[in-house]
Amino acid sequence: MSDLLIFAIAFAVLAALTMIRLAKGPTAADRMVAGDAADTLICVALVLFSLFSGRGIYLDIALVAALFGVIDTMLVGRYLEKEGGKEK
Amino acid sequence: MQKAKFPAIAATFVLCFLFWILLDFSFKIEELIAGAVVSLLVALFSARFLVHEKAGWFFNPVHLFSAVFFWCGTFLVELVKANVDMAKRCFGGCKNINPGIVKVPVDLKSDYGQAALANSITLTPGTITMETTEEDGQNYFYIHWIDVTAPSGKEAGDAIKGTLEKGLRRVWE
Amino acid sequence: MIVRIIADVLIAIGAIFALAGTIGILKMPDTFSRMQASTCIPTLGMLGAMLGALLIAIFVKADAGAAVKIAVIGLMILVTNPLGSHAIAKGAYKAGVRPEKKMETDDLGRDLYD
């Protein structure tokens, strides 16, 4: 079963790599794209780790992360549409 | 704000109740009754935001089957092709890109059909729908395209969404 | 045993496409191209990993609840991701983000803004 753990760690490492763009990105849209990608990757890593450890609670956390991941993205998108021209 | 019709409330109720069963996943009679009450309340309050036209569409087996066939067949093939193309560009050093925004005419008429087409285009790597407009009866999409090979108009539209639109027209019209 | 091998291959395919998307996010030259590259992650990267996890949950664990939940997580990400991506692209364009290199054609700027 340890192959699942290896894949989960690989996805988590990819999520950590997108944090570089989140810290560096020149505009707010860059940071939000990196955050969205990290959210999806963390979701996949949680599902794989739940299958590895056999505990169902991680699946619920992944479900909630998948549901609310889109809401913050849309909020930032709406904010940029209305106000973003003023600050860079 | 218009009043919610009965089919809209029924469709929202069924979706909410399925989601309750998914989260709970126990089939005791008390929990099912509690779920039915909660989803009826949610449906009464929020149906008018969710469903606007033809609420019974979802429960027609012919439509459902053709929609499943479209998203599991035609769309999946296009998705895999576009993904392999984008992965080649990424592993090749992200140099051979040629981005631009093109304006493309759309023939689908209904709101749901246009929303499904726009989301399918956005989900394919390499194209993002940015804005929709209507000019004298003809609908247009503004699409950001990673590799512009044709100028705006019908030619670019065939290259981006030819097969997708053909499949979606069979589902919605 | 054969199911485990198929599932591992599927998850590995997903990891490869997720790696492609991450490289695209880190190295693409402008904002909209980074957005395009990041679409690789929630489509085929997520789909491959979720299909592998679904196979394991059904055939190895024999756990119906976990299988349904995994399927719904995958479907939810697939349905809701284009909404956020569309909102970010439109918002970034309206906020004045433009690529450094001139775009090939820019009909949106010509017709609606500027």
Q: Can you give the pLDDT at residue C111? A: 61
Select from C2, C114, C3 the least CA-distant residue to C58: C3
DSSP for B127-158? EEEEEEEEETTEEEEEEEESB--S-TTHHHHH
The reply to whether B45 and B66 lie within a common domain is no
Claim: this prediction has a pTM higher than 0.90:
no
Select from A36, A1, C35, C107 the least CA-distant residue to B135: C107
CA–CA separation, B81 and A9 (whole Å): 28
C46 in a domain, yes or no?
yes
Work out the minimum CA distance from C26 to partner chain B, whole angstroms.
10
CA–CA separation, A24 and A8 (whole Å): 25
B26 in a domain, yes or no?
yes
Select from B158, B145, B63 the least CA-distant residue to B106: B158
Letter for the amino acid at B150? A
Work out the minimum CA distance from A85 to partner chain C, whole angstroms.
4
CA–CA separation, C54 and C65 (whole Å): 11
- Name the neighbours of A, counting chains with at least 3 Cβ pairs within 8 A: C
- Find the radius of gyration of the CA atoms of chain B: 20
Confirm or reject contact between C8 and chain A (CB < 8 A).
yes
> Domain total for chain A?
1
Residues of C in contact with A27 (CB under 8 A): 31, 92, 95, 97
Residue-wise pLDDT tens digits, A30-42: 898 899 999 999 9
Does residue A17 contact residue A61 with C-beta atoms inside 8 Å? no
Select from C35, C73, A77 the least CA-distant residue to B127: C35
The mean pLDDT of chain C is: 85
Per-residue pLDDT of chain B (173 residues; tens, 9 = 90+): 456 677 778 888 888 898 888 777 777 888 889 999 999 999 888 877 777 666 666 667 787 888 888 888 888 898 899 899 888 888 888 777 888 888 888 888 877 788 888 888 888 888 888 888 887 778 888 888 888 877 777 777 777 777 888 888 877 76
A88 in a domain, yes or no?
no
Q: Can you give the pLDDT at residue C14? A: 92
The reply to whether B120 and B78 lie within a common domain is yes
The reply to whether B113 and B131 lie within a common domain is yes
The reply to whether B129 and B159 lie within a common domain is yes
Q: Can you give the pLDDT at residue C55? A: 92
C64 in a domain, yes or no?
yes
Chain A residue nearest residue C41, CA to CA: A37
The reply to whether B114 and B159 lie within a common domain is yes
Chain C residue nearest residue B117, CA to CA: C82
CA–CA separation, A49 and B163 (whole Å): 38
Chain B residue nearest residue C29, CA to CA: B94
Q: Can you give the pLDDT at residue C39? A: 87
Residue-wise pLDDT tens digits, B118-167: 888 888 888 888 888 887 778 888 888 888 877 777 777 777 777 888 88
- Domain residue limits at A67: 2-83
Please say if the pLDDT value at position A18 is more than 80: yes
A40 in a domain, yes or no?
yes
The reply to whether B138 and B83 lie within a common domain is yes
Proportion of chain C in helix, strand, coil states, percent, rounded to 5: 80, 0, 20
C80 in a domain, yes or no?
yes
Please say if the pLDDT value at position A88 is more than 50: no
Going from the C-alpha of C66 to that of each of A42, A70, B86, the distances in angstroms are 18, 23, 32
Q: At residue A3, what are phi and psi to the nearest 5 degrees? A: -65, -35
Q: Do C72 and B22 touch (CB under 8 A)?
A: yes
For residue A54, the number of C-alpha atoms closer than 13 Å in the C-beta half-sphere is 5
Residue-wise pLDDT tens digits, C69-113: 899 899 888 888 898 888 888 888 888 777 766 666 666 666 665
Span A48-60, average pLDDT: 89
- Name the neighbours of B, counting chains with at least 3 Cβ pairs within 8 A: C
Chain C residue nearest residue A23, CA to CA: C26
- Domain residue limits at B148: 60-172
The reply to whether B78 and B123 lie within a common domain is yes
Does residue B152 contact residue B104 with C-beta atoms inside 8 Å? yes
From C12, C73, C95, residue closest to A66, measured CB to CB: C73
Q: Can you give the pLDDT at residue B131? A: 83
Q: Can you give the pLDDT at residue C109? A: 63
Whole-number percent of chain A with pLDDT over 70: 93
Q: Which residue has the tokens 């499904």?
A: B116
Residues of A in contact with C92 (CB under 8 A): 27, 29, 80, 84
Q: Can you give the pLDDT at residue A82? A: 80
> Domain total for chain B?
2
Work out the minimum CA distance from C51 to partner chain A, whole angstroms.
11
Higher pLDDT, A78 or B2: A78
Instruction: Quote the DSSP letter at residue A26.
Output: S
- Domain residue limits at C67: 2-98
Q: Can you give the pLDDT at residue B41? A: 92
DSSP for C58-112? IIII--HHHHHHHHHHHHHHHHHHHHHHHHHHHHHHHTT---SSPPS-BHHHHHT
The reply to whether B69 and B152 lie within a common domain is yes
The mean pLDDT of chain A is: 86
> Domain total for chain C?
1
